[in-house]
Structure 1
Amino acid sequence: MKVWILIVTALVTAHTARLSPQVVDPEGFLEKYGYLHHDHYLHNAVEVQSAIREFQWLSRLPVTGQLDGPTLKQMAEPRCGVSDEGSQQIWAQRVNVIFTGKRRLLHRGRRSAAKAEKWYKHHLTYQIVNWPRHLSLGSVRLAVRAAFQLWSNVSGLVFQEVPKGPADIRLAFYEGDHNDGVSNAFDGPGGTLAHAFLPRRGEAHFDMAERWTLNGHKGHNLFMVTAHEIGHTLGLEHSPVRHSLMSPYYRKLGRNLVLSWDDIIAVQQLYGKPLGDHPVRLPGQVLHAALQKWDFTELQKQQETTGLPLYCQGVFDAITMDQNETVLVFRGSVYWTISAEGTVSGPLSIRQRWSNLPQAIEAAAFSPLDSKWYFFKGKRIWRYTDSVLDPSFPRKSSELGLPRHPDCAFYYAPLGHMVLFKGSRYFVFDLKTLRQEPYYPRRLTDWTGVPQGTNGALTHRDGRLYLFRHQRFWRFDPGKVRVTREGQWAKNLSWTGCSNIPQSNNIL
């Protein structure tokens, strides 16, 4: 769902509302997520305003009943595909139980909030049907196990994985329409990331086309999304509470406790408290460290098994080349080196070479102009001379006129400056003054043929700029000022160290 489409739709909606009592549901969003319940897409203006108010309440936005800027922006964010129908009523009942100790029946035309679905047993089995191309089964199993344990720690539930045969809860990855109905078809990167079914169907589906990760910030954290969808398979609805795991818009894995008080109360009202005296509530930083360790171990195991590093399957956070023509590929907390002769080394720890860097970076570039390393993450930039952090760094990107969360960064010889891509724009950074060049940022369309969302770029020894996104690359010729070739980099570029890649057999 694109914001500009929603804005145009909103303008049409407002115009139509002035002419008749019928208005248009923006791209079927309110219909899809349970705010409107009719067989056609024209609705009474009062109904739509009420639906927008309900959406704003659940999204913790100012409740205006209007398709204002913050509401349209929120609608465009990646989210869970489960309908929000009944969330407000069930949450109200949950709060009522907290204060009164009694359940109050709340009847409504849709679903009765008193009829929350649940499993009528406390020992549940689960099964991982398949997994994403760029994550190993071991990594996925660890993330899924941790997600189930999160709920088990605070409730009377026990979970057990069964590799084959029947299981209460099944987790699978699909692309596009996967026989769940048109409204549940996955839409590629962004939009709906996953959806699940309440008991007793017990299934959680994830969009295969998304970039799933355990520790990086370029992509979606599989552990967090899985934990959210498991909540649905247990019978939990979406929550309006800030920092709740069951918010329809997935939260990030930060320092806070992963489960909010509302998450815990919701699952305990269905399944009771754990046997121990106190629930085990791990903070996000502890789980993040565990995921980092698991991921690193799995990377080493897979490389020993296949003889190929994991980045060869098309997932990395950044790529650059140093003064010795050694290519460096970064993923999560590790990196690999590929020498000019094609020898691959790694995975190596980023922080062992460049101390003070965060656990994962978003962009990296070596500059032959000053022989320094530049790293970008969130709203900060780090600069190193060899492995030593330069004085006054890290610095805020905003102080230097640069964007937060850049897609990629690279030194570009024709300009004599560093270039950063972010969405539909690019920035030119003067490394001598540490300031953005005047008249920038400009539109990415200046780079004819280069797509948005590239996750790495470097100028190779042939003098051409190579840009990467997932499994594909684009070769940009500075002389012709356009892309002259594209393809699958792991197969077509021998200098990536990824020749003779075995075909994966883990995809249905």
Structure 2
Amino acid sequence: MKMFLLLLCVQTSHSSPISSPAQGFLEQYGYLYKDNETYRTAEVKTAIREFQWLSWLPVTGRLDAATLEKMTSPRCGVTDAGSFDAWQDRINGIFTGRHGQHLRKKRYTQLGEKWQKKQLSYRIMNWPRSLSAGQVRLAVSAAFQLWSNVSGLQFLELHQGPADIRLAFYEGEHNDGAGNAFDGPGGALAHAFFPFRGEAHFDMSERWTLSGHKGHNLFLVMAHEIGHTLGLVHSPDRHALMSPYYKKMSSNAVLSWDDITAVQQLYGKPPGDTVQQLAGRAFRWTIQDWQISQDPRESSLTPNYCHGFFDAITMDENGAVLVFQGCRFWSVCNGSVSDPRPLQTRWPQLSVTIEAAAFNPLDRKLYFFKGRRMWRYSGSNLDPGFPKRSSALGLPKHLDCAFFYQPLGQLVLFKGSRYFILNPWSLSMELYYPRPLRDWKGVPRGVNGALTRPDGTLYFFKEQQYWRLDTGKLRITAAGLWAESLQWIGCQKTPSLQDNEL
């Protein structure tokens, strides 16, 4: 029981200091906090050990850095109660020589707790701000197809009326009980109910995406929660889609052997015993082709990025603002927005998606960052020797944002709680860096873009908000919603509103 209370605390907190979630959990249930690593009761140590075991961490019973980091990782909000028994059975089987016997015991909720039919209907009740209805429908359809390809199940989407499975996005408490309330970005991203309630709920405030590193991939989270609505509990396989911690998109098959065996035990094999696996690479290309050809929002008066988030923003050598989202980009000049175009039509050999971009007006080159690599372009031409590995330059992977900082005449890169200074001439990191992000007072952690305007004013973006930094005064002088307040970003149908001066 103590372990499950600890998991509840993990699900409803997303800050890293030991005072939360760890100390808060101890105080709430009457335990005494002693120091950063040890506690006065054996019960708490046991709970921590169990959490570490379930999370594939070294079992120490101490709240070490790895355990605290895992506590803050985005995870499914469904309880691990049934999973814990199943995982114990598996471990016992290994040590008693019964490995393989009753291996699937309790991999679903209860005996007989499954749908008593193999043709199920589903309905999408709403969608998040960061994705259009068409994008959500595509992710949901692919997620259901993932399960029907490997089992005897078939699914049909309904647009009105009652359905077997209902999918909805909510914020905060939504009549599921206080323990299931969504807590904003981070923590539990979603939860679902087993048959026969057949509902899956997703946190509206999260940044949902279908491509790229930033945000949470709706397809993977959706497929995981659909597994719960079919009756599956969490898997002991850390590489399984049904792991408590959401799987990352890769080029490999999305479902593991453990996932397939679990659903087939409930609903049998597909007709003709033909199992068709979907690889992450296939889904990514499907998303790319769909986004380029038919986004329902492209018929609106404002571009798609205005309705949600973007991955990066910068300027080009002609002074146009470049906005990047997924595999596409827009060019904004004097408030006029171009049609969306694939990145590689303008920058050949660039990655399909990017995470950060920066234009250096001193060498008039564009720098792009994605994963472990950096590209540099002169106009539309990739410079010789690029892309380069970030590690060879002393830089981290998966940057939050990059921008040219006029007072230094160099590139600044944000990653988590630190920032780096990249010398564009020597392509090396400056000495005494990285430094803490708190040097940039008023700038939040996790910004997804930054841009220096021609007058030297620096703008930071996080989700739908912006902050304007006066580089002379070194302080934030304005903040607000960028789609409403910044005309030059291309989202306004009417003359811009004035910045909200601080």
TM-score range, shorter chain: 0.7 to 0.9
CA displacement at 1:480 relative to structure 2: 1.1
Partner of 1:209: 205
- Give the letter for the 1:188 counterpart: G
CA distance in 1 between counterparts of 2:458 and 2:65 reads 38
Q: Partner of 1:225 in structure 2?
A: 221
- 310, 314, 331: which one aligns with 2:325: 331
Contact conserved, 1:407 with 1:422, CA < 8 A, in 2? Answer: yes
Question: Which residue does 1:89 correspond to in 2?
Answer: 85
Report whether the alignment pairs 1:148 with 2:139: no
Residue aligning to 1:316: 310
1:154-233 aligned at under 5 Å gives the runs 154-233=150-229
Task: State the Cα deviation string for residues 395-453 of structure 1 (Å, max 9, x = none).
Answer: 22122122221111111111110111122222111111111112222222222322221
Residue matched to 1:32: none
Within the candidate set 442, 455, 466, 2:448 is matched to 455
Q: Which residue of 1 aligns with 2:18?
A: 6
Equivalent residue, structure 1, for 2:382: 389
Query: Given the superposition, is the C-alpha separation of residues 160 and 335 from structure 1 closer, same or farther in structure 2, using an over 3 Å criterion?
Result: same
**Corresponding residue of 2:369:** 376
How far apart in 1 are the matches of 2:109 and 2:483?
Answer: 52
| Distance across 2 between alignment mates of 1:413 and 1:8 | 38
Following the alignment from structure 2 to structure 1, what is the Cα–Cα distance between the partners of residues 24 and 76? 27
1:337 CA drift (Å): 0.1
2-side partners of 1:421 and 1:401: how far apart?
14
Matches of 2:331 and 2:24, distance apart in 1: 53
Letter in 2 for 1:6: I
Q: Deviations over 1:163-218 (max 9, x none)?
A: 11111111000011111111111111111111111111111000000000111211
3-state SS, counterpart of residue 163 of structure 2: coil
CA distance in 2, matches of 1:115, 1:278: 26
Give the unaligned 5+ runs of structure 1: 27-42, 502-508
Per the TM alignment, residue 92 of structure 1 is displaced from its structure 2 partner at its CA by 5.9
Alpha-carbon distance in structure 1 between the residues aligned to 2:429 and 2:103: 61
Matches within 5 A, 1:369-448: 369-448=362-441
Please state how far the C-alpha of 1:54 moved relative to its aligned partner: 3.1
Q: Extract unaligned runs of 5+ from structure 2.
A: 1-12, 495-502
Alpha-carbon separation, structure 1, partners of 2:449 and 2:128: 21
Quote the Cα distance in structure 2 between the aligned partners of 1:209 and 1:189: 6
Q: Are the counterparts in 2 of residues 58 and 239 from structure 1 also a CA contact under 8 Å?
A: no
CA gap of 1:171–1:406, structure 2 versus 1, over 3 A, is same
Residue aligning to 2:10: none
Task: Check 1:411–1:149 CA distance in 2 against 1; reply closer, same or farther (3 A cut).
Answer: same
2-structure distance, mates of 1:116, 1:432: 67
Task: Say which SS state the counterpart of residue 454 (structure 1) adopts.
Answer: coil
TM-score (norm 1): 0.87
Query: How far 1:267 sits from its partner (Å)?
Result: 0.6
Q: d(CA) in 2 for partners of 1:446 and 1:65?
A: 36
Q: For 2:121 and 2:41, locate their aligned partners in 1 and report how far apart those are by CA, in whole Å.
A: 46
Q: Does 1:71 align with 2:67?
A: yes
**Kindly tell me: are residues 233 and 8 of structure 1, through their superposed partners in 2, closer, same or farther at Cα, counting changes over 3 Å?**
closer
Asked if 1 retains the 8 angstrom alpha-carbon contact of 2:171 and 2:204, the reply is: yes
| Separation in 2, partners of 1:103, 1:376 | 44
Q: Is the 8 A contact 1:90 1:113 kept in 2?
A: no
2:439, 2:68 → 1: CA distance?
29
Aligned residues of 2:448 and 2:463 also touching (Cα < 8 A): yes
In structure 2, relative to structure 1, the CA distance for the partners of 1:145 and 1:355 (3 Å cut) is: same
Equivalent in the alignment of 1:504: none
- Distance across 2 between alignment mates of 1:53 and 1:423: 28
> Which of 248, 251, 254 is 2:250 aligned to?
254
In structure 2, the CA distance between the partners of 1:44 and 1:477, relative to structure 1 (3 Å rule), is closer
C-alpha distance in 1 between matches for 2:450 and 2:181: 33
Question: What's the TM-score, normalizing by structure 2?
Answer: 0.88
* Pair 1:279-2:291 in alignment: no
Residue identity opposite 1:373 in structure 2: L
Q: CA deviation at 1:465?
A: 0.8
Partner of 2:481: 488
C-alpha separation in 2, matches of 1:49 and 1:246: 27
Query: Are 2:117 and 1:121 equivalent residues in the alignment?
Result: yes
Distance 1:311 1:184 in 2: 30
Other-structure match for 1:99: 100
Structure-1 separation of matches of 2:463 and 2:355: 14
1:212–1:11 distance in 2 versus 1, CA, 3 Å: closer
Amino acid at match of 2:436: R
- Cα deviations by residue, 1:284-340 (Å, 9 ceiling, x for unpaired): 1111211222233343x3212x1211111241000001221101000110000011x
Alignment check: 8 A CA contact 1:224 1:250 kept: yes
Partner Cα distance (1:240, 1:118) in 2 = 20
CA distance in structure 2 between the partners assigned to 1:64 and 1:321 by the alignment: 50
- Distance in 1, matches of 2:326 and 2:454, equals 26
Q: Secondary structure at the match of 1:483?
A: strand
**Alpha-carbon contact 1:314-1:490 (below 8 Å) kept:** no
Match of 1:499 among 472, 486, 492: 492
Displacement of 1:348: 0.6
Measure the CA separation in 2 of the matches of 1:74 and 1:212. 21
Partner of 1:118: helix, strand, or coil? coil
Q: In structure 2, how many angstroms separate the alpha carbons of the residues matched to 1:414 and 1:112? A: 60
Identity of aligned residues (%): 59
Question: What SS does the corresponding residue of 1:186 show, helix, strand or coil?
Answer: coil
Amino acid at match of 2:302: L
2-structure distance, mates of 1:124, 1:54: 36
Shift in CA distance, 496/112, structure 1 to aligned 2, threshold 3 Å: closer
Q: Distance in 2 between matches of 1:310 and 1:375?
A: 22
